Amino acid sequence: MGKIAIVYWSGTGNTEAMANLVAEGAGGSADLFTPDQFSPDQAAGYSALAFGCPSMGAEQLEEAEFEPMFESVKPSLGGKTIGLFGSYGWGDGEWMRTWAADCEDAGCSLVCEPVIACGAPEGDAADACRELGKALAAV
């Protein structure tokens, strides 16, 4: 098992709860970061990374903190195995489909289907977060 980074932004606590479930699935050995704590230089030190951001506005990534960090890190993610997760309160998950396609276009390998939760991660969504962590730990 390599080193795992989980980088997330959470406005209501739902995506933070998802990040903690991903870490739990990874066996508790992942390093958790908020966007202001993570930089492109750090990405090189991890064999797998998970990024979490809720849907904001018109189904988009959070623009003030998360998206600028992700855009700065994205060039260093080519060839890396990553996972994506996030919560939403409206829409149909378009922001996640767009984000996943952007990551694949950048040369990232998604470890599994992105995980989304409507509101707080419970039931199947919580299980999917743990499974994401397990998949990252197997990289």
- The model's pLDDT over 34-50, given as tens digits with 9 standing for 90+, comes to 999 999 999 989 999 99
The pLDDT score that the predictor gives to residue 79 is 87
Which tens digit of pLDDT belongs to each residue from 76-89?
Answer: 998 899 999 999 99
Q: What is the DSSP letter of 3?
A: -
The pLDDT score that the predictor gives to residue 28 is 76
What is the band of 91 on the pLDDT scale with cuts at 50, 70, 90?
confident
Question: Measuring CA to CA, which residue among 28, 8, 10 is closest to residue 130?
Answer: 28
The pLDDT score that the predictor gives to residue 108 is 92
Tell me: pLDDT of 2 over 80.
no
Structural tokens at position 131: 């499974």
pLDDT: which is higher, 1 or 17: 17
Q: Is the dihedral of CA 69, 45, 115, 26 positive or negative?
A: negative
- Alpha carbon dihedral 30, 57, 116, 62, in 10-degree steps, equals -10
What is the band of 58 on the pLDDT scale with cuts at 50, 70, 90?
confident
Contacts of 95 (CB under 8 A, 6+ apart): 55, 56, 59, 60, 61, 86, 88
- The answer, as to whether pTM is greater than 0.75, is yes
